[in-house]
Amino acid sequence: MARLAIDGGEPVRKAPFPTRSPFGPEEIDLLSQAVRSQNLFGPAGTMVPAFEKAFAELYGLRHAAASSSGTAAIHVALGAADLEPGDEVITAPITDAGTIVPILFQNAVPVFADIDETYNMDPADVERQITRRTRAILVVHLFGNPCDMDAMADVAARHKLLLIEDCSQAHLTTYKGRLLGTFGDMAAWSFQQSKHMTTGDGGMTACRRDEPADRMSLFRDKGWPRRAGAPARTYELLGLNYRMTELQAAVGLAQLKKVRRVVDRRHELGERLTAALAGCPGVAPAPVTPGGRHTYWLYPLRLEAPRAADFAKALCAEGVPASAGYTGEPIYLCMDALAKRKTFGRSGHPLDGCHGGRKIDYTRGLCPRTEQALAHMVCLWPNENYTDADIDDLAAAVRKVAGDPHG
């Protein structure tokens, strides 16, 4: 068996892996058009409405509202939901703070459902978390792997709850042949630099129905109705300035022509890596939800033994970028706004039980399957510029660190 690089052996990979190169002449041309127009203000421009229209058409939805980030896009959805203070939103324990911050800023209480074997929220545990104050389910399609949307939609419908999809890591991803983002009442996407399509930062919120669409548009623009015939200076609801600029939209329009190729290539590479890791001792490849088509925003490995940090360090020594545990801890432990109630001054609001909301202790043990999964998780970060040979090197390094005698 080859000696590990971390112990002085030869690394599997000496050359750096390919980096992403999402931008090209198409983006430059549209950016140049935006600058030459002498207007970069979205509400007065042409790029933002064109981007919104093209994005909605891509997903077969009627309405889309562009915003400044993925966090803003989720906040736009929750703002359009018109939550009452103290309402509860059930969401995922493995996610970025961008999923949770909008809940808190809407004076609502995040409630966490534990995961199943896919790393996504377990629909049965979602249902167990429902109380009289539950208003919405905010599903997170983690790593590009779909949630069980048949079950999620059924739970939401039976309990008359809003269903909102966080598709930040799951662009053009399908479940049973249907695009994620088309199952719920509203959906949100991120265009942050690492995402399948990117504008550097930016977001989109989309829906089918007219009612939330009007509130979405108002919420991201301080409640200002810019429609024809509206008074020149009136604000119809409490909103924020989450407007997208013409520069972001220009990049987004170019990215829409590339995103399917990016998604398809990541799917191919992820499937190749899964096949190459078949039978690797002590290592389980990335799970795929039955009926889902994984698009591998990242690639999670599950180790039998909880030695993620050591395994990731050994992979890095083999020349393979790797990290342990994604967020390391569940979001309710690594986000001080929850774990230490550091929200608004010393109030702890909205987690203080004010307005009749539930007081939840965000402590270890809240989602035991999540905590165990993160302790056993190592993440790899292949991108669409990887070759098949690059994937084979990833697999060879994993097998070597795992101690596979046949690796």
Output the 3-class SS for 79-114.
Answer: HHHCCCCCCEEEECCCCCHHHHHHHHHCCCEEEECC
Sequence spans of domains, the chain = 5-21+259-327+370-402, 25-257
pLDDT at 229: 77
What confidence score (pLDDT) does residue 120 get? 98
Flag whether pLDDT at 232 surpasses 90: no
Token pair for residue 332? Answer: 């309710």
What percentage of the chain carries pLDDT values higher than 70?
Answer: 99
Confidence band for 126, pLDDT divided at 50, 70 and 90: very high
Over residues 311-368, the pLDDT tens digits come to 999 999 999 999 999 999 999 999 999 999 999 999 999 999 988 888 999 999 999 9
- Say whether pLDDT at 236 is over 70: yes
pLDDT band at 231 (very low <50, low <70, confident <90, very high): confident
57-103 tens-digit pLDDT: 999 999 999 999 999 999 999 999 999 999 999 999 999 999 999 99
Q: Are strands 299-303 and 377-380 parallel, antiparallel or unpaired?
A: antiparallel
If 0-12 CB within 10 Å is exposed, 13-18 middle and 19+ buried, where does residue 275 land?
Answer: exposed
Residues with Cβ within 8 Å of residue 151, at least 6 apart in sequence = 123, 124
**pLDDT of 162-182, one tens digit each?**
999 999 999 999 999 999 999
Please report which confidence band the pLDDT of residue 111 belongs to, taking 50, 70 and 90 as the band edges. very high
Q: Decide: pTM greater than 0.95.
A: yes
Q: How far apart are alpha carbons 382 and 193 in whole angstroms?
A: 15
Residue 147 pLDDT > 90: yes
Provide the pLDDT for residue 265.
98
Contact 173, 146 (CB under 8 A): yes
* Other beta carbons within 10 Å of 211: 11
Please count the residues of the chain.
Answer: 407
Q: What is the model's pLDDT at position 227?
A: 82
Q: How confident is the model at residue 405 (pLDDT cuts 50, 70, 90)?
A: confident
Classified by CATH at the fold level, domain 25-257 comes out as: Aspartate Aminotransferase; domain 2 (3.40.640)
Q: Which long-range contacts (CB under 8 A, 24 or more apart) does 26-33 make?
A: 26/254, 26/257, 26/258, 27/250, 27/251, 27/254, 27/255, 29/254, 30/250, 30/251, 30/253, 30/254, 31/247, 31/250, 31/251, 33/250
Q: What is the mean pLDDT of the chain?
A: 97
- Judge whether 314 and 403 are in contact, CB under 8 Å: no
Residue whose pair of structure tokens reads 């009136």 in the numeric block: 234
State the amino acid at position 139 in one-letter form. Answer: V
Residue 303's nearest CA partner among 281, 319, 288 is 281
State the amino acid at position 292 in one-letter form: G
Judged against a pLDDT cut of 90, whether residue 380 lies above it is answered with yes
159: which 2 tokens? 């309990």
- Can you tell me the distance from the alpha carbon of 322 to that of 353, in angstroms, rounded to the nearest whole number? 41
- Scanning 133-245, the segments in alpha helix (DSSP H) are 149-158, 210-219
Q: 78 is written with which tokens?
A: 């929750």
Rounded mean pLDDT, 277-306? 97
Structural contact between residues 247 and 34, judged by C-beta atoms closer than 8 angstroms: yes
Domain covering 5-21+259-327+370-402: architecture? Alpha-Beta Complex (3.90)
- Asked whether 265 and 67 are in contact (CB, 8 A), the reply is no
Percent of the chain with pLDDT over 90: 94
Rounded CA-CA distance 3/393 in Å is 16
Among all chains, which residue has been given the structure tokens 């167990």? Answer: 128
Is a pLDDT exceeding 80 seen at residue 383? yes
Residue 407 confidence (pLDDT)? 64
Within its chain, how far is the Cα of 354 from the centroid?
Answer: 30
- d(CA 349, CA 362) in angstroms, rounded, equals 14
Query: For position 78, what pLDDT does the model report?
Result: 98
How many degrees, rounded to 5, is the angle at CA 107 between CA 222 and CA 203? 50
On whether the CB atoms of residues 285 and 301 are closer than 8 A, the answer is yes
What average pLDDT score do residues 12-36 get? 98
